[in-house]
Amino acid sequence: MRKLLFISVMMLLACHVLSAEEAVVTARIEQSHRDDYGAGYIFPMKERGMLFQSLCKKSDHGQRFFRTEYYDTNLNLVFVDSVLVDKNMEVDNQLYEKNVNYTILREKRGEDFIVVSFDPATHQTRVIDGEYTRKGSMRNLIIADDYMVFSSTQRKTDRIGIFNLTNGEARFADIHFDKVRDKDIFIMENTVIDNMVNALVRVKEDVYLVRIDMQGNKQKPICITSAVPQNILTASVSKAGGKYFVTGTYTDKKKNDKAQGIYFGQLDGDYFAFIKFFNFLDLNNFTEYMSEKAQKKVERRKEKAEKQGKAYSMDYLIASHNIIEHNGYYYYLGEAFNPTYSYVPTGRMGAMRVFDGYYYTHAVLVKFDNQGNIMWDNCFEMKPRTRPFYVKLFINAGFKDGHMNAMFVDNKNIVSKSFDETTGLVVSDRKAEVLETDDEAEDIKKTRSSNAQHWYGDNFLVYGDQVVKNNDTGKRRRVYFINKYTIK
């Protein structure tokens, strides 16, 4: 069977070899650093274009302009609008839902926040005012119809916030459990299903499902891990065919924030109809990002543990995507990362360890059926050009023509991988080198900082600070640039 599978794989690879292509600049816009507005925020809106939003550097009578520039897919300027905001407002988050962009701005030291919505179809900008304590975080934001829902930690108490985007009213549901300290309660994830907020809440070592209506009324919490010995670390819940499914990462160890594998389960009332756990090291290609020497070391340890009747595992930090449902199957996608540190001298032979960002190594992709069985799995290496200081998702995934497609920027290449939806085999693996500029008369002398994200189709946005030299005149200019890259 393994020999037959090997022959099949080799035949497939003969037809679909890795191709090296070019990602060329097909459109570009620049903003001078002498502009009245600071470096902006890039918000792709798929085939509807993109937004470039920025705050004016200057203020007047305690207010300043927040500008929205709307560009089409060729980076042609379509529409510009500005609204006045408090001078202490800063962009905090952004969501794109049902073809409308929502940008959340919060006061740095105050309690006010606003939601600026922009509809590219009508060019209509709306500003909704809100109020929330500055010491309360706003995470896991989602838009559901006319509501913005988020989870938050305020003074060691976790709560669900429900903000009405029509009238600006806000309701909050604090999460408390008898005989449990508030600091031992944490909202892992929240979503809206059937007009109800479904929050997965970790209470010490257990996980509860808490359902809340849009008026902030809570139903009786359900402990979904009372019969589960593993420690659930991350969770994503979805509903399909009238059933609730949960997937995420877990560990066998107590008080461990690193995962040893993934799980998939179906909820039935107040318990799991089933939940299945899978060690990372049992997945295909999971250690291929390592050197050959390191891989052999892991295999030796795994074999030794199996001879002793034990399961060998490794600990990983995983940034999990929301569960993806497609044609009755469920897909888990996670990106593995590690914190990095550097040492800064403090004088007299001393040094201080400083956090240097998260280094991403590889990704895991698994297809489940509705009984929690793995249909196929695959892992692949990824090395983003940046090390973010917050947990970030780099990969954009979707389905087209019977393929599961994953696209991301890897060092100086744009990577596009296609997996056969039925077998999970890689049918296309394209790397496109990112060319710096499409103008032969200009050279990019220095890119001070840059970021990249998938836009739509085979198109990406790369943006940041550059120093550009004109070869004819010898003049240099420093610009904030936005490039559209297209894989050719």
Instruction: Supply the pLDDT for residue 151.
Output: 92
| pLDDT tens sequence across 190-241 | 989 888 999 989 998 888 989 999 999 999 898 888 888 888 888 888 887 7
Non-local CB neighbours of 213 within 8 Å, separated by 6+ positions: 195, 196, 197
For residue 435, which amino acid is it? L
Helix (H) or strand (E) holding 378: strand 374-381
Quote the pLDDT of residue 384: 85
DSSP assignment letter at 282: G
Which pLDDT score is estimated for 54? 92
Q: What is the CA radius of gyration of the chain?
A: 24
> How many residues does the structure list for the chain?
488
- Taking only the tens place, the pLDDT of each residue in 334-381 is 999 999 999 888 877 788 889 999 999 999 999 999 899 999 999 999
- CA dist 164 and 318 (Å) reads 33
Does the CA dihedral 287-292-298-304 come out positive or negative? Answer: positive
Which residues of the chain are modeled with pLDDT < 50?
A: 1-19, 438
pLDDT of residue 243: 82
Parallel, antiparallel or unpaired: strands 261-268 and 271-279: antiparallel
Output the 3-class SS for 24-52: EEEEEEEEECCCCECCCEEEECHHHCEEE
Tell me, rounded to whole angstroms, the distance of Cα 107 from its chain centroid: 24
pLDDT at 90: 92
Torsion of CA 317, 322, 323, 324, to 10 degrees: -130
pLDDT score of 13: 37
The pLDDT value given to residue 262: 93
Residues 6+ apart with CB under 8 A from 228: 272, 275
SS3 for 183? helix
Positive or negative: CA dihedral 244, 249, 253, 256: negative
Is residue 305 a contact partner of residue 281, using CB atoms and an 8 Å limit? Answer: no
Give CA–CA dist 64/57, Å, rounded: 8
> Please, what sign has the CA dihedral across residues 289, 290, 291, 296?
negative
**Rounded distance between C-alpha atoms, residue 396 and residue 405, angstroms:** 8
Please spell the DSSP secondary structure of 212-238, one letter per residue. Answer: E-TTSPBPPPEES-TT--SEEEEEEEE
